[in-house]
Structure 1
Amino acid sequence: MENTHILSPPVSPSKISESQKYFWLISYALFLIFCGFLVNSPSRILSGIFRIMTSSGNLFTDYIQIGSLGSALVNSGLLTLLNTLLAKKLKIKLSGPLTAALYTMCGFSFFGKNLFNSLPILLGVYLYSKWTKTPFSRHILLALFGTALAPAVSFVTFGLKLALVFSFPLGLLTGLIIGFILGPLAGHFVSFHQGFNLYNIGFTAGIIGMLVTAILRITGHQVENVHYLSSGHNLFLATILYFSFFILAIIGFISNHYSCQGLAKIWQSSGKLISDFQQIGGYGPTLINMASLGIFATTYVLLIGGSLNGPVLGGIYTVVGFGAYGKHLKNCIPVMLGVLFLCLLKGLNPADTSIILTTLFGTTLAPICGYYGAFWGLLAGALHLSLVSNVGWLHGGLNLYNNGLSGGFIAALMVPLLDTLHQVKKEQHDEQRKKKG
């Protein structure tokens, strides 16, 4: 997020009311909860939610594996519902950035975020708003995306092997401090990558996560990535995903007067921050764009033989959410292909969950493709795969937006070089025109 304190008002030629926009998200959150109770009994869901809330949450803690499929769906639905109702209560317009934040929350609630570890960070951002004497509504994006560091709260509470009477308040304090310091840091770090890394809070969270992990390690605590991954749920989850994305496309098509007019404007956008697609193309085309990304991402995972587990669901929902704020097929596919090409070149398995996540989340660099061209998007994807596997150790999985951290470094490396290259080409072109003139 280029400026996490600004929510630009959406412009909708079809005059869709804010209540109607919120109705879709609330309905979808309730749909996820309903699906959860379809597959598991209430008692199993409750016990699964308890296991989810008392897990460390480090990457990759798949809540379907830790709890159950039903409890993971309910956890995602509840977090999406509560945060959507919070935004509605604050009377915030459901813009592209806010849509991206809520869908990202929905996705990461399948691995890493839960009702316990997210709340202290939200409260920390609230305290920051009080300290700066600014409305909390201006910081809602910071609060929602800032839950990237939710595993830090869980790890301090349940991973230090301290008595709960000590670890519980210490975990809450950790979350409050993280939420409080996110604000002043996020606004400064965006200049590091110049808006070409869509997961700006992921980069900020990565830096904070590195500091928290360093403190924990120097005090003798091991903080490492984990790999709790589920499998065997592809049919059921694919049905949910395809159904929801087709409904999303239909809603967008109907609300846009039964047309796709405006979608071309979205595809012409580079996606560089801040690119609110509701302002650029309208509400209906934005929903169609989100649905097309969701269908493409889900189909890609299935075609390569991947598993629709918690982390992969997080990747798909995040791509869909940012379909309202920077991503479209035109600027995402080259980046994904760059990851895939290097993966095959190195003999890696593209169906491995970590590779799938790099492919999906690597689209944080979609603006590079949209701004500089498809070739540079391919290169950005390849470089991202090379780096992302090495930066995770620095924060030990306490930052859920690991790709946002890696993407920030890749953008910071590529953008100045590409700007220089384009400037030199422009000067040479101008010089040739003068000679011909």
Structure 2
Amino acid sequence: MKVSRPKNPIINKTQLTEQVKHFIFVGVALYFIVLAFVFNSPQEILHGQIKILVSPANLLTDYFALTNIGAALFNSGLMILHALAIIRLVRAIINGPVIAAILTVAGFSLFGKNLYNSMPIVLGALLYAKVTRVPTEKTLLAALFGTALGPLVSEVSFNIGLSLPVGILAGWVAGMVAGFLIPPLAASFVKFTKGFSLYNVGFTSGIIGTVFVSFLRGVGVTIEPINVLSSGNNIPFELFLSVLFIFLFLMGYVLNGMSIKGYKNMLEETGQLSADFVDLFGFGVTLMNVSLLGLLGTAYPVLLVGDLNGPVIGGIFTLAGFGAFGKHPKNVLPVLAGVTLMGLIGSYDLTSTSVIIAGLFGTTIAPISGHYGPVVGMLAGALHLSVVMNTSFLHGGVNLYNNGFAGGLVAASLVPLLEAIDYHKEAYKKWHEPVDPAEEIEIEEEL
């Protein structure tokens, strides 16, 4: 007998959930925008925003130092709204990877991303969907994460000696080509890292950025990473971040039925791609994990007596964002410890922004720690610091996800070795396993 059910009983609930998710992230964007006017006047923010839009943005261009705090925060809030508009446009749901993308965009909009240099990359990724006739939501992550190559657009537009009209045209063409290339290449490169580096588009962007910069250098253009950083704002930024992450934790706690039920199970996940924590554990538990990682990320530079500047806060938001897509304290802490220990035994300044962001962004390889244990995680973190200090020259800083590029190299180098060791350990164990006498008799009888 066929049982009649109300039409689409789950759709209204799903739509309500999506509305709540959008409301929360719109609230985050508005928090940034309102705070912008606390730090600076409307005129200062307007002038700063214009400067952000028309300036080269390659690593490390801290918008706090380039302009002012208000303009940088306003830019970040605007970019969150831009990301949410794209999500609405392609009719995608806000799941784990999308949350990671939103908060990554928020963080990097403090030091490299803006509306001008992001739009052509997004258009290129969506054009790929149109040309190949795949659903546009399938290229959403490539479009959002792919804005890592925003500095390529800015650099070609404003910093290689072209006239303004030609530069703008060339920059947009370069951005759209890069955006078009990201979806197919990212789908291929994930096999290269076997899902053990979470910033797969970061690795892809590093490859594309290296090719573009190599071409530009080949025709006589000089592109080098830069280092424009702010300092002295730790106290207001600590307050700004703590309030936000505590609020998000409480929101997650309420949405999870006033409990932390399910969080212990999340800590047992390795984090290897693709671990969508929203799908596995629910939005409430995921939001609590995002918040805890955000607070952990905020504490890390403070403990190292470093500066909370644009790149560091960008690292904090990226760490928090991937709390919805593979990271949790258990697989993150060994990597942070490995980076820190390598900094101590090597000739590194632990208070420097480059080391601090290597720790925060280096948690891209947290799945190695989750799968192979904390000792291996620490080894991976130490190796990551060594590699990431030498990769930015390759792409000239036009790939904002330099740690994603380096993390991909670390995962691709380390994981096959770890797999080989595991294989031989299992083979040795099996070879030397004592044989049950009863089994020996059965084998002799069969012979």
Aligned residues: 427
Alignment of 1:216-295 (within 5 A): 216-295=216-295
- DSSP-derived class of the 1:268 partner: coil
Per-residue Cα deviation, 1:113-153 (whole angstroms, up to 9, x for no partner): 00100001011111111101223222110100000100000
In the other structure, the counterpart of 1:56 is: 56
Equivalent pair of 1:193/1:408 in contact (CA under 8 Å): yes
Alignment of 1:132-151 (within 5 A): 132-151=132-151
Deviation at 1:418, TM superposition (A): 0.7
Alignment of 1:159-178 (within 5 A): 159-178=159-178
In the other structure, the counterpart of 1:105 is: 105
Per-residue Cα deviation, 1:207-263 (whole angstroms, up to 9, x for no partner): 000001101111111110100000111111111100010011101111111111111
Partner amino acid, structure 1, of 2:308: L
- DSSP-derived class of the 2:380 partner: helix
In the other structure, the counterpart of 2:355 is: 355
**2: CA distance, partners of 1:436 / 1:381:** 43
Deviation at 1:86, TM superposition (A): 2.2
In the other structure, the counterpart of 1:120 is: 120
**2: CA distance, partners of 1:236 / 1:289:** 24
**2: CA distance, partners of 1:196 / 1:145:** 17
Equivalent pair of 1:14/1:257 in contact (CA under 8 Å): no
- Structure 1 gaps, min length 5: 1-12
- DSSP-derived class of the 1:227 partner: coil
Equivalent pair of 1:14/1:283 in contact (CA under 8 Å): no
Highest CA radius of gyration, 1 or 2?
Answer: 2
In the other structure, the counterpart of 1:396 is: 396
**2: CA distance, partners of 1:343 / 1:259:** 38
Deviation at 1:55, TM superposition (A): 1.3
Moved over 4 A (4+): 13-16
Question: Mean Cα displacement is larger for which, 359-368 or 134-143?
Answer: 134-143
Equivalent pair of 1:202/1:401 in contact (CA under 8 Å): yes
Equivalent pair of 1:64/1:230 in contact (CA under 8 Å): yes
**2: CA distance, partners of 1:211 / 1:15:** 42
Equivalent pair of 2:128/2:180 in contact (CA under 8 Å): yes
Per-residue Cα deviation, 1:294-316 (whole angstroms, up to 9, x for no partner): 11110111121111100001100
In the other structure, the counterpart of 1:315 is: 315
Partner amino acid, structure 1, of 2:404: G
Partner amino acid, structure 2, of 1:263: Y
Deviation at 1:91, TM superposition (A): 2.4
- DSSP-derived class of the 1:366 partner: helix
In the other structure, the counterpart of 2:337 is: 337
Partner amino acid, structure 1, of 2:97: P
**2: CA distance, partners of 1:235 / 1:55:** 28
- DSSP-derived class of the 2:201 partner: helix
The Cα RMSD (Å) is: 1.6
Classify 1:342/1:436 alpha carbon distance in 2 versus 1 (closer, same or farther; 3 Å).
Answer: farther
| TM-score calculated relative to the size of structure 1 | 0.95
Classify 1:163/1:275 alpha carbon distance in 2 versus 1 (closer, same or farther; 3 Å).
Answer: same
**1: CA distance, partners of 2:327 / 2:90:** 27
Partner amino acid, structure 1, of 2:246: F
Question: Mean Cα displacement is larger for which, 82-91 or 408-417?
Answer: 82-91
In the other structure, the counterpart of 2:74 is: 74
Alignment of 1:380-391 (within 5 A): 380-391=380-391
- DSSP-derived class of the 2:434 partner: helix
Per-residue Cα deviation, 1:62-91 (whole angstroms, up to 9, x for no partner): 001111100000000000012112213432
- DSSP-derived class of the 1:390 partner: coil
| TM-score calculated relative to the size of structure 2 | 0.93
Pair 1:304 & 2:304 matched: yes
**1: CA distance, partners of 2:246 / 2:418:** 38
**1: CA distance, partners of 2:110 / 2:254:** 30
Per-residue Cα deviation, 1:332-356 (whole angstroms, up to 9, x for no partner): 0001100100100014221100000
Equivalent pair of 2:90/2:140 in contact (CA under 8 Å): no
- DSSP-derived class of the 1:17 partner: helix
Equivalent pair of 1:148/1:399 in contact (CA under 8 Å): yes
- DSSP-derived class of the 2:363 partner: helix
Deviation at 1:432, TM superposition (A): 2.7
**1: CA distance, partners of 2:430 / 2:214:** 51
Deviation at 1:15, TM superposition (A): 10
- DSSP-derived class of the 2:112 partner: coil
Equivalent pair of 1:14/1:256 in contact (CA under 8 Å): no
**2: CA distance, partners of 1:257 / 1:317:** 25
**2: CA distance, partners of 1:14 / 1:94:** 11
Deviation at 1:16, TM superposition (A): 6.7
Pair 1:210 & 2:213 matched: no
In the other structure, the counterpart of 1:425 is: 425
Partner amino acid, structure 1, of 2:78: L
Equivalent pair of 1:231/1:309 in contact (CA under 8 Å): yes
- Identity score, percent: 44
Pair 1:412 & 2:438 matched: no
Deviation at 1:14, TM superposition (A): 11
**2: CA distance, partners of 1:284 / 1:30:** 21
